[in-house]
Amino acid sequence: MKQLFDRVYILEGEVGGRPLDLVYLDGETASLLMDTGCAHDPSKFIAPQIGQARGDVKELTWILNTHPDLDHISGNHEMKQLVPNAMLACGEADRHICQDFDSLMRYRYDVYRQDHEIFYEGDALAWLRSEAGAPEPIDVTFRGGEHIRLGAQWEVELIAVPGHAEGHLAVYDPQHRALYAGDAIQGRGYRGLDGSMKLCPTYEDVNPYLATIALIERLPITTYVGCHWPVKRGVEIVGFCRESRNFVEYADRLLLERLSSYRTLREICADLGPALGDWPRSNDLELVYALDGHLKRLQEQKMVSARRRSGEHSLLEFIRT
């Protein structure tokens, strides 16, 4: 646990060799925890570190899921067992994904199976299942623009930051000129605790993602906190936004340069992976999230066309128009 400001703490965890930093706001009249990690993270590090911050987990008021990924929602059930009176919230557009593992698979992790034959299996699927918590219903949803009062002089605002997920939410803290943003923007990818690149960016919708980058650039903040990156301050925020946008623009250029013949998305991920980042090549298929979004946008712009491959496996293939 480390203290960021008065009554603002970062609870430090780990997922897959990467940092998992969760924000805890301990106000005078209300408190807020952003995300719950994997299935047993509430008892493993969240509750103990809230105690280290001289907070009382039993008095937690709000639990906010910033977005529907395994390492952000899977501790919901255990967290509610620890503090049943806390209100569990998420973005309105993500409610159907956040409440159980089967929905997370159906609507987020398994949506590329039919068209692209990209899906989790074997050890990867076993790990997902092992880290998934029991189902837990969401109590309330937000769309962005709502305010939560944490003390007489402390009010935070929920801000919609779509792109990585349709209902992704961040917390804007004007008192500290800070934004606590989950995975809203992702630079060139996710680094591990050892400093090496572990995973590519995993945004899904390109135009909303670019709009979120622009929004963050406009906000009057001096501190930016993401869940898997070091805290950014001042010019570092500008640099992280620029890095995030540059990745998007480079991915677009590479797609158009290399789509000279029909190719499946699996083939595209394998081809572009080494040019886009130095994460382990075994993780190149994780580019499916971002590159599927790019291809959909390029199709809307009439710059790329798609067709069904003939044969037993009628996968989608893409070519530059």
Span 67-115, pLDDT tens digits: 999 999 999 999 999 999 999 999 999 999 999 999 999 999 999 999 9
pLDDT above 90 coverage of the chain, percent = 98
Strands 316-320 and 263-264: antiparallel
pLDDT value of residue 143: 98
pLDDT on residue 167: 98
pLDDT of 218 above 70: yes
pLDDT on residue 313: 73
The verdict on pTM exceeding 0.75 is yes
Strand pairing category for 316-320 and 8-15: unpaired
**Residue 310 confidence (pLDDT):** 81
Domain boundaries, the chain: 2-244, 258-320
Q: Express each pLDDT in 225-269 by its tens digit.
A: 999 999 999 999 999 999 999 999 999 999 999 999 999 999 999
Q: Over the stretch 146-177, which tens digit does the pLDDT of each residue have?
A: 999 999 999 999 999 999 999 999 999 999 99
The angle at the Cα of 214, spanning 210 to 216, to the nearest 5 degrees, equals: 115
Q: Average pLDDT of 200-208?
A: 98
Using an 8 Å Cβ cutoff, are 265 and 119 in contact?
no
Q: Which of 202, 228, 216 is nearest to 285 (CA)?
A: 202
Distance CA 165, CA 208 (A): 9
Query: H or E segment at 52?
Result: helix 47-52
End-to-end CA, the chain = 52
The pLDDT, as a whole number, for residue 314 is 87
Mean pLDDT of the chain: 97
User: Quick one: fold of 2-244?
Assistant: Metallo-beta-lactamase; Chain A (3.60.15)
Contacts of 261 (CB under 8 A, 6+ apart): 319
Beta bridge partners of 24: 9, 33
Beta strand extents in the chain (DSSP E only):
2-5, 8-15, 18-26, 31-34, 62-64, 87-91, 140-142, 147-151, 154-160, 169-173, 178-180, 190-191, 197-199, 223-225, 232-233, 263-264, 304-308, 316-320
- Check pLDDT > 70 for residue 312: no
Question: Rounded to an integer, what is the distance from CA 10 to the centroid of its chain?
Answer: 17
